[in-house]
Homo-oligomer: A and B are copies of this chain.
Amino acid sequence: MKTFDDEGQRAILEPLTTIEMEHILKALASSRRLLILEWLKDPKSHFPPQVHGDQEKHGVCTQFIAEKLAVSQPATSRHLKLLSQAGLVTASPVKGWTYYRRNESNLSRFTRQLSTEL
């Protein structure tokens, strides 16, 4: 549930629950998943050019991430699912591919809240 402030610009979000914070921390407590988030900051410099979807706009397909992680496609798929369930990345399924990109607003919402609550 979210509301908007007077200017309707910045979303004013409910604070993340303790359980959500814990899920996010678990999602981040993995060198592989931290790497994925790091790479997704700048897809162009970390992944080969994508002939189908726009990397900047929709994100990077699972295959590319699996190759760079050097683990199997199913293992990669699970890492991405965990990140996605934690709200740290957004999945965009398009024509057989699934593209993943960072969810910047949730990432910063998390770090802001952690800074004040921890």
Contacts and interface: CB of A to CB of B under 8 A. Distances in A.
A73 B112 CA distance: 34
A40 to B, nearest CB: 11
Copies in the complex: 2
10 contacts: A21-B34, A22-B29, A25-B25, A25-B28, A25-B29, A25-B34, A107-B118, A111-B114, A112-B115, A114-B114
Interface in A1-43: 18-19, 21-22, 25-26, 28-31, 34, 37
Q: How large is the interface on A (under 10, 10 to 19, 20 to 34, 35 or more residues)?
A: 20 to 34
Interface in A81-118: 107-108, 110-112, 114-115, 118
A31 B37 contact: no
